[in-house]
Amino acid sequence: MQGSSSGTGGGPLVSSHYTLSEYVGPQIWTQLTRTAAVDAADRLFVTDGQTVFVVEDGVPSIYLSPADLQPANADAGIISMDVGPDDRLYILDRGVPAQILVSRGPHDVSILHGDLSAARTFPALLAVESPDRIFVVSHYDGLFEVTPNGIDLLYGESAIDASGCAAEDLAVSQDGRLFYLPGCNGSPLLSGLTDGSGVGILKHEDALDEYYFWMFGGIARNPPGGVMVNLVGTIYHIGTDGTATELNTTPTLNDVTADWIDFHARPIEVGPTGNVYVISTETIYRAVPD
């Protein structure tokens, strides 16, 4: 299904057409990891796992260097990022123990939660509902909420299948809804409420009639509502009711690269302008609404 989809007071959820092009290539990085974030100024944050880069108007620069991160952790490893409603950058650091860092600006970073050992085995994904409520997915344990009062299990592994597959991803909207992608071949997009009242299947990949080998590769909070998903060769908007709208882009993701695997298990982000970013291993592509 193509075309626009109406919002509820915040304008359309998607535009009728997008122009897709290469936004920035590997100018100051060699390889990007599977996490990204975007702020209220439409600045995109990406990382190679040791350095946080910011891309503004197509120009990349270093936002947090390894030296900036060293006071927080001498062996910092960036595994997940999100921008909160306070427009600060939050980082999940895989140190021992894992911890949550917060950055208020370039070369400024501090420890917000210094010990996530209560989140059990392998903290892997982070999403921010508010500065005082952050969600962390821990492989083989489930989804935890981190607040000033401590760390509590919100949904167990059996509810969200947090088994650490290649395209696992997490997004949270500030209206109390979470979206989770188990990331395994054939796994659906899950959605639920952040109050712990339940989570379930929002959309099966095979319901979209795409090539059988493709899979959901990444999800992103869509500011007007719902989420954007990267389905390897296609971008879809999925509404909170499961309605799917394929983004009409020129060219398509399939046309901008000779190898569709470039978008396998890769992150996607949506800025406040409606710009959609798809981050491959080396290159960032941007779809701009007409």
Task: Decide if 10 is inside a domain.
Answer: no
pLDDT digits (tens), the chain, 290 positions: 334 444 444 458 999 999 999 999 998 999 999 999 999 999 999 999 999 999 999 999 999 999 998 766 656 689 999 999 999 999 999 877 889 999 999 999 999 998 888 877 789 999 999 999 999 999 889 999 999 999 999 999 889 988 888 899 999 998 899 999 998 888 899 999 999 999 999 999 888 887 666 789 999 999 999 999 999 879 999 999 999 999 999 999 888 887 767 888 999 999 999 999 999 999 999 999 99
User: Tell me, what's the pLDDT at 72?
Assistant: 62
Task: Decide if 8 is inside a domain.
Answer: no
Q: What is the CATH number of the domain that holds 273?
A: 2.130.10.10
Question: Within 10 Å of residue 260's Cβ, how many Cβ atoms?
Answer: 14
Task: Decide if 133 is inside a domain.
Answer: yes
Number of domains in the chain: 1
User: Tell me, what's the pLDDT at 205?
Assistant: 87
Task: Decide if 184 is inside a domain.
Answer: yes
Q: Cα angle vertex 30, ends 109, 83, to 5°?
A: 35
Task: Decide if 129 is inside a domain.
Answer: yes
Task: Decide if 6 is inside a domain.
Answer: no
User: Tell me, what's the pLDDT at 233?
Assistant: 79
Task: Decide if 3 is inside a domain.
Answer: no
User: Tell me, what's the pLDDT at 2?
Assistant: 37
Task: Decide if 5 is inside a domain.
Answer: no
H and E: helices and strands count for the chain: 3, 25
And the tokens for 242? 């499961």
Residues 6+ apart with CB under 8 A from 128: 82, 83, 84, 85, 90, 134, 135, 172
Domain housing 145: 17-289
pTM for this entry:
0.93
